[in-house]
């Protein structure tokens, strides 16, 4: 096609400027040969022929322009050389007009192919009428995807975008109907059935606002996932339903990959509680850094089996060793440490459910305190390099058995760090969306049952993170640790549970307090209205990562942890049926900031 265009351009320019091409046969042949060889040679050099014409864009035209400039320089140079050698040359305008015709022709034919292909891609006009929020690159990507198939269930009708220069314009024939604030009116005017949010940089507040504007119309709201989620394999489809975590909206976490790789690559890493929500995600992300061995320690055989099978499928070359054991069983834990000699330990095993632990305080103490002590001491005895305790914001000024036992665990690893060559650290964060026992699965089940959604108090707030976000920062904190720190993750702004519930109802295509009722049941044992990430005595200081802070270390010797934990152990051993008030009094003695509640 390009050869034919070059021939036609040469013939046309000769005919227009000097006469009939047959009268200038040799000159025309010379001009055709030199232009075809230089143009096509330059196109081959710049890989122009490797690009599909139906996807032609400004990139291809930039390559054509580069090739055209080089071709003109070569042709003009050869013409000058010919003139000096023979004294004969074609008029300069013939060269110039031929070049213009060639550039126009090769560009025009590609544009025609692109237009022809685009006209064939009209999408499924019988699909649901769809509004795309965001007329940028992501919005155009969504439009192209929807138009590719004549059987697509969605048919794009219009864009909305806040950029004033895009208003009343069209993108590939689709109008930009107005700004995002006008969604409510545009939905009614254009009879929209589906809204797609195509703004990867949108904050949680912006997404929440868009969802709120759509909720009264009872239409589907979908979202284009963040590129980071697609790259990391956390999503497998282009479009998906809007989730509660989208409404929290946080900037993508930037990890120091070099720092993480330096302490995990080629090392033996042990994760306790490896079958749990946090533990299993730790295993997935750690495996990406190619440890020598990854040891999965857990009490439940089924959960360990499932994560082992998943990891072997995703990382077939990774050495993975499942270890079934209870962290309260010192002999079993010692044998695991002796067998594998882990360099790095992530201790995620714990009893975490606040109300359940209020009813079962002895189990919380045995698992969260004595189990952590055994794990920490075994790490010291086996010569581990790092030990990272996964803790909770409920350990700050605790009001629950779960919180106070996790605070004791934090203090105990600070105690053992004071004499051990192993670097011990705790990482403290709030609730994680989607974890076992979290509020989101409960709300979803209640919605499926037709409601009501039960909330303990209308003013209750919590910090939330997604599981992958929390785990990324836990691993990062492990790399920052030099021993004795309590790292605190930046959880963003606290979220009202009532707002979370209303958003979840809305995302289910229902109307809060109309289709699904919200019922307030009163606070449960051990709960408080809001959580804190730092106590008054801890303050905070920055670390090398903007989303991780370090609590100021307390005078660990003043707590006398070995003696107090021994006293607690003796109390449980001597009379296992001790009343809750006696146990709580002992916990209060260990942790003076423990706030006893009136839920007995």
Packed helices 2-17 and 92-120: angle between N→C axes, nearest 10 degrees: 140
Cβ-count burial of 113 within 10 angstroms (0-12 exposed, 13-18 middle, 19+ buried)?
A: middle
Of 386, 394, 528, 584, the active-site residue reads: 394
388/269 Cα distance (integer angstroms): 11
Q: In what order do the strands lie in the sheet with 128-133?
A: 154-160, 128-133, 194-197, 220-223, 240-241
In the numeric block, the tokens 């697609």 are attached to 230
Long-range contacts of 101-105 (CB under 8 A, 24+ apart): 101/8, 101/9, 101/12, 101/13, 102/5, 102/6, 102/9, 102/35, 102/39, 102/68, 103/64, 103/65, 103/68, 105/5, 105/6, 105/8, 105/9
CA angle 284, 244, 520 (to 5 degrees): 120
Catalytic-residue membership of 222 = no
274/347 Cα distance (integer angstroms): 9
Is 412:376 a contact under the CB 8 Å cutoff? Answer: yes
List, in order, residues 6 or more apart from 281 with CB less than 8 Å away.
467, 468, 471
HEC states along 279-318?
Answer: HHHHHHHHHCCCCCEEEEEECCHHHHHHHHHHHHHHCCCC
Is 584:398 a contact under the CB 8 Å cutoff? Answer: no
> Which residues does the annotation mark as catalytic?
394
């Amino acid at each position: 096609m390009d050869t034919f265009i070059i021939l036609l351009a040469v013939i046309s320019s000769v005919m227009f400027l000097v006469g009939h091409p047959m009268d200038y046969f040799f000159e025309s042949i010379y001009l055709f040969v030199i232009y075809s060889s230089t143009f096509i040679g330059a196109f081959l050099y710049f890989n122009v022929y490797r690009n599909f014409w139906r996807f032609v864009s400004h990139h291809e035209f930039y390559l054509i322009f580069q090739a055209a400039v080089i071709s003109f320089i070569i042709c003009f140079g050869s013409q000058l050389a010919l003139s000096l050698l023979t004294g004969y040359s074609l008029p300069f305008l013939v060269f110039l007009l031929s070049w213009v015709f060639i550039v126009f022709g090769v560009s025009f034919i590609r544009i025609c192919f692109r237009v022809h292909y685009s006209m064939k891609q009209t999408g499924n006009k019988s699909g649901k009428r769809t509004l795309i929020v965001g007329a940028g690159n992501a919005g155009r990507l969504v439009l192209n995807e929807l138009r590719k198939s004549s059987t697509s269930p969605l048919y794009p009708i219009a864009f909305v975008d806040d950029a004033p220069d895009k208003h009343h314009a069209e993108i590939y024939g689709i109008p930009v109907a107005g700004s995002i604030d006008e969604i409510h009116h545009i939905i009614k005017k254009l009879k929209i059935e589906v809204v797609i949010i195509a703004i990867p940089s949108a904050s949680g507040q912006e997404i929440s606002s868009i969802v709120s504007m759509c909720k009264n119309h009872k239409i589907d709201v979908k979202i284009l996932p963040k590129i980071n989620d697609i790259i990391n394999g956390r999503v497998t489809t282009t479009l998906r339903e809007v989730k509660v975590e989208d409404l929290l909206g946080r900037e993508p976490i930037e990890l120091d990959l070099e720092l993480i790789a330096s302490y995990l690559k080629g090392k033996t890493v042990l994760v306790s509680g490896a079958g749990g929500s946090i533990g299993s995600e730790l295993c997935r992300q750690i495996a990406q850094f190619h440890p020598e061995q990854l040891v999965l320690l857990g009490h439940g055989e089924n959960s360990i089996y499932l994560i082992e099978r998943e990891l072997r499928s995703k990382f077939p070359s990774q050495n993975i060793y499942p270890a079934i054991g209870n962290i309260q069983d010192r002999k079993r834990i010692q044998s695991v440490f002796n067998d594998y000699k882990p360099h790095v330990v992530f201790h995620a095993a714990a009893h975490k459910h606040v109300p359940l632990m209020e009813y079962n305080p002895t189990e919380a103490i045995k698992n969260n305190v004595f189990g952590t002590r055994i794990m920490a001491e075994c790490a010291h005895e086996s010569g581990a390099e790092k030990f990272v305790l996964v803790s909770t914001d409920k350990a700050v000024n605790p009001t629950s058995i779960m919180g106070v036992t996790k605070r004791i665990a934090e203090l105990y690893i600070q105690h053992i760090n004071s004499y051990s060559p192993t670097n011990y650290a705790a990482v403290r964060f709030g609730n994680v969306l989607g974890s076992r026992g979290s509020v989101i699965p409960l709300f979803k089940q209640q919605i499926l049952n037709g409601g009501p959604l039960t909330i303990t108090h209308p003013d209750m707030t919590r910090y939330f993170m997604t599981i992958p976000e929390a785990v990324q920062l836990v691993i990062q904190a492990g790399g920052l640790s030099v021993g004795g720190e309590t790292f605190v993750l930046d959880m963003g702004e606290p979220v009202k549970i009532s707002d979370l519930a209303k958003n979840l109802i809305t995302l289910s295509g229902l109307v809060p307090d109309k289709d699904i009722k919200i019922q307030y049941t009163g606070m449960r044992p051990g709960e408080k209205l809001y959580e804190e990430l730092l106590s008054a005595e801890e303050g905070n200081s920055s670390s090398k990562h903007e989303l991780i802070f370090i609590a100021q270390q307390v005078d660990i010797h003043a707590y006398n942890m070995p003696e107090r934990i021994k006293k607690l152990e003796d109390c449980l051993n001597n009379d296992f049926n001790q009343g809750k008030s006696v146990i709580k009094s002992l916990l209060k003695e260990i942790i003076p900031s423990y706030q006893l509640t009136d839920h007995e």
